[in-house]
Amino acid sequence: MDNNEPPKGIILTPEQKRRQRERSIAIALALGILVILFFAVTLVKGPVVLNRPM
């Protein structure tokens, strides 16, 4: 690889990297809360959820 070549692709500034990381963390937290909510609703409803006619 030649060191004289300019970097390919988009180079983010430190501020953009920080904001991207914050967005990723926020999305991960929202997804985790949604999973926990679905799990809790399933536990509250109990096994009756599985006992239904097709």
Task: State yes or no: pLDDT of 17 exceeds 70.
Answer: yes
DSSP labels, 4-54: TSPPPSPPPPHHHHHHHHHHHHHHHHHHHHHHHHHHHHHHHHGGGGG----
Q: Which domain holds residue 42?
A: 15-49
Task: State yes or no: pLDDT of 1 exceeds 60.
Answer: no
**Residue 7 or 44, more confident:** 44
Q: Is residue 7 part of a domain?
A: no
Tokens, residue 39: 């799990």
pLDDT band at 51 (very low <50, low <70, confident <90, very high): confident
pTM of the model: 0.67
Q: Is 49 in contact with 42 (CB distance < 8 Å)?
A: yes
Could you give the number of structural domains in the chain?
A: 1
Q: Is residue 33 part of a domain?
A: yes
> How much is the mean pLDDT over the chain?
87
DSSP 3: T
DSSP 1: -
